[in-house]
Amino acid sequence: METSNEYKLIPTFGNSFGTGWRVMTDNFIRLLLITIVVAIISGPIQMINFKFDNNDFHGAPWEWAGNMHSIINWASLGMLAAFFGMLALLFTLFVVPIFEYGADMTFVQAVRKIKPDFELLIRGFWQNYLHIVLANLLVGALIVLGCFAILVPGIIIACRLVFVSYIVMDKKLDPIEAVELSWKLTRGHGWRIFAMGLVSFFILIFGLMLFFVGIFPAIMWISSSFATLYQSVLNEKEKPAEQPVVAQ
């Protein structure tokens, strides 16, 4: 039994998931609420669910009559779908990352034995907003470009840039600096991050099998584990080098 008030942080696969589980259970209610809020915010497409009935409109597009009225109906429906699709895209690019980056930082707070702050979910709107949005776009673009190159480079990039969201929120760096620092911090940990990502996939599947409700604890465990790895690697890299003892 540990007597220290802090978690034992070692940048290994086992310690990340083991300590991540403790972090999750120690802050379960707060992290659960944060996870649910982010899950709701991250799924705007689910809110755009149109169900048309033949009786809703007279001369609906699927009742093609080969006349101008039918053409106008098709065009109107297409423009409506495009409009809401554009709104969903803008929401995903310029709103969702604020909540996701803020949530990532609350998990880091939990690892640091700091009570997760709900305000972090929205603080990015008035602090560091541009850096968050640009960092999210930059990381996404790099991963997509890497995936076009026979997939493997995309996986490597995703693993090496896994800390970008934490760095942007924690260190307040601009997107390029955050990418550079994440690449530096993850050097030597690429395979470990890949293995954690692979295991995380099966944790999510198992969570979905538990009548869907289990998906939230699964996400919390994964998020806590990666936040633990980030703090472990950060501690390792920032640890002052031991000075050699000079013989007298």
Per-residue pLDDT at 1 exceeds 90: no
Measure the CA–CA gap between 82 and 75, rounded to whole angstroms. Answer: 10
Cβ–Cβ contacts within 10 Å for residue 101, how many?
24
Percentage helix, strand, coil, to 5, in the chain?
70, 0, 30
pLDDT score for 72:
63
Q: What is the pLDDT of residues 173-207, one digit of tens each?
A: 999 999 999 999 999 999 999 999 999 999 999 99
Residue 232 has pLDDT above 70, yes or no: yes
Torsion of CA 147, 88, 90, 121, to 10 degrees: -90
Measured CA to CA, the distance from residue 161 to residue 223 in angstroms comes to 15
For the cut 60, the answer to whether the pLDDT of residue 150 exceeds it is: yes
- Contact indicator for 223, 107 with CB cutoff of 8 Å: yes
Per-residue confidence band for 71, with pLDDT thresholds at 50, 70 and 90: low
The domain limits of the chain are 13-42+95-237
Tell me the whole-structure pTM to 2 decimals. 0.84
| Res 73: pLDDT | 61
pLDDT of residue 75: 64
